[in-house]
A and B are shown apart, each in its own frame.
Chain A
C-alpha cells in the first residue's frame, strides 16, 4: 500500500479505499497498522464524498484541424 498521493483521482481514492477495507477484513495486521489503515480509510471516504459533491462537468472541444483548410 503506497501512501496516498497529494491529489488522487476519485478512481484511485476509491480503489485504495476498497483495498484498505479488504486488507482490514482479511486480518493479520498489527494493531498499529490496523489503526493507521482505518484512519486512512476514513480520510479516503471523506475525500471521495467531497469530490463527488464538488465536481462540475467540464466540457472541452477538440479543435477540428480540418476546418482550418
Chain B
C-alpha cells in the first residue's frame, strides 16, 4: 500500500487548483459573512480580509482596482456580501475568494453605511450651519430636480401654482431611484448650474422604502448638492425620512410639497403685506402733511410772538409806568413845597405887624415927616403924632416926654 507514487506538494496543490477551476459556480459567486481582519496594504493598495460565520472562515483578497471602486469601505464586524471567484493560492496552500465587489448586507448594514457616510461628511464640515445659504425671498426661476412623471412633481407644481405663480419652473429631469439615479441626479444638478437661471433648486422625491430613497444617501449626490452654486432645498420622502442630502442641503423640507412651500412666499400673504405697505404709505404721507401743518402753526405762533405790536405794547406799558412814577414823584414834591409854604406863611402871619397891632401894639409916626417913632428923643413935647392901631388911627400931640 506504500507502493503508490507520491506527489509533490506543488503537484497536489496544482491538482486541487484544477479541480476547483472546473467548478463554474466558484467562478462567479456571492458570499455573505462577517468581515474580520480587514487590511489595506499601504504600498500595493490591495485589501486582505476574512469572511466568517459561526462555523467557517474564508480568506479573501481584493485587488486595488476593485478597492478603488468600492462605495463602501467595510470595517471588522460588518456583515457584507462579497462577489468574486474562488481560486487556490499556491504559495500559502489555501483557497481564497478573489473579490471584485462588496456591499453591506441587510437593512442593518444599509443603516450602518448611512451612519458612516453621515459621520464622514459631518467631519468634513459639510453639514455645518455656516454653510447653509439664505434662500431668495422672491425666487424668479425655481430649478426642480426630480422624476418628471412622478406624483411628487405634480404636487410641487400644484403648490407653486397656488402660492407663487410668478415663478418660472425649470425642470431638470432625472431618475430618482435605482443604480443609475445617483449619477443622473448629479448631472441634473450640474445642468441647472450650467444653465444659470435658477436662483434656487428643489431636489425632490416622493415617499418610498429606504431602498427606494437610497440614491439620496449616495456620496456623489451629497457632494454634488454641497458643491452646487445655487442653494438647494431637499424634499425627499416623508416627514420621518432623513437622507444624507437632507443634511448637506441648505434647507431640508419634510416632503416635496413642503419644499415647494419653503422656497416660495405665499401670494395671499404677499397681498396682505401689499395692503400693509399701502396703508403705511398713506400713513406716512398723512403723517408728513400733519407734521407740516404743525410746523406751520408753530411758525405762526413764533411770528405772533415776534410781532412789533408786542414791542409797542411793551413800550407803551413802560411809558405808562414811567408817567405814573413821574406823577407820583411830582405830587409828593408839590405836597412838600406846599407844606413848606404853609409853614412860611404861618411864620409870616406871626410876624405881620397888623397882627401885632390887633393884639394891642401900636405904631407911632411923626405927623410932619411920617418917621416911625421908636425912640422918645425923636418926639419932643408938642410934636404931632399919628398912632396907628389894630383898627383905625389916632391923631395926638406929645404932652410929655420921659427919657430913659
Measuring CB to CB, which residues of chain A are less than 8 angstroms from any residue of chain B?
A: 9-11, 14, 17-18, 20-21, 24-25, 27, 29, 31, 34-35, 38, 41-42, 45, 48-49, 51-52, 55-62, 64-66
Least CB distance, A23 to chain B, in whole angstroms: 8
Interface of B, helix, strand, loop or mixed by DSSP? helix
Is B8 in the interface zone, CB < 8 Å from A?
Answer: no
Hey, what's the 0/1 contact readout for B151-162 against A, CB within 8 Å counting as 1? Answer: 000000100110
Least CB distance, B179 to chain A, in whole angstroms: 15
Q: Taking A34-B288, A62-B192 as contacts, is the C-beta distance between A20 and B281 under 8 angstroms? A: yes
* B157 partner residues in chain A, CB cutoff 8 A: 57, 59
Known A11-B140, A18-B277, A57-B161; 20 more pairs at CB < 8 Å:
A10-B166, A11-B138, A14-B274, A17-B277, A21-B277, A21-B281, A24-B285, A24-B288, A29-B288, A31-B292, A34-B288, A48-B274, A57-B157, A57-B167, A59-B157, A60-B168, A62-B170, A64-B173, A64-B187, A64-B191
Within 8 A of A (CB), among B267-315: 267, 270-271, 274, 277-278, 280-281, 283-285, 287-288, 291-292
Is B20 in the interface zone, CB < 8 Å from A?
Answer: no
Complex: A21 Cα to B288 Cα, angstroms: 12
Q: Is the CB of A9 within 8 A of B140?
A: yes
Complex: A41 Cα to B280 Cα, angstroms: 10
Interface of A, helix, strand, loop or mixed by DSSP? helix
Complex: A21 Cα to B160 Cα, angstroms: 29
Size class of B's contact patch?
35 or more
Hey, what's the 0/1 contact readout for B1-19 against A, CB within 8 Å counting as 1? Answer: 0000000000000000000
* B356 partner residues in chain A, CB cutoff 8 A: none
Complex: A59 Cα to B173 Cα, angstroms: 12
Complex: A45 Cα to B275 Cα, angstroms: 8
Q: Is the CB of B171 within 8 A of A60?
A: yes
Q: Is the CB of A55 within 8 A of B166?
A: yes
Of all chain A residues, the one with the shortest Cβ separation from B160 is A57
One of A10, A60, A62 near B138 (C-beta < 8 A): A10
Q: Taking A11-B140, A57-B167, A60-B169 as contacts, is the C-beta distance between A38 and B281 under 8 angstroms? A: yes
Hey, what's the 0/1 contact readout for B111-129 against A, CB within 8 Å counting as 1? Answer: 0000000000000000000
Least CB distance, B206 to chain A, in whole angstroms: 18
Q: Is the CB of A34 within 8 A of B271?
A: no
Complex: A14 Cα to B160 Cα, angstroms: 19
* A24 partner residues in chain B, CB cutoff 8 A: 281, 284-285, 288
Q: Is the CB of B169 within 8 A of A57?
A: yes
* B285 partner residues in chain A, CB cutoff 8 A: 24, 34-35, 38
Least CB distance, A36 to chain B, in whole angstroms: 11
Q: Is the CB of B169 within 8 A of A58?
A: yes
Least CB distance, A63 to chain B, in whole angstroms: 9
Complex: A31 Cα to B291 Cα, angstroms: 11
* A61 partner residues in chain B, CB cutoff 8 A: 148, 170-173
* B160 partner residues in chain A, CB cutoff 8 A: 57
- Give 26 CB contacts A-B under 8 Å: A9-B138, A10-B138, A11-B140, A14-B138, A17-B274, A17-B281, A21-B281, A24-B285, A25-B280, A27-B291, A35-B285, A38-B284, A41-B277, A45-B278, A48-B274, A49-B271, A49-B274, A52-B270, A55-B165, A59-B157, A61-B173, A62-B195, A64-B172, A64-B187, A64-B191, A66-B187
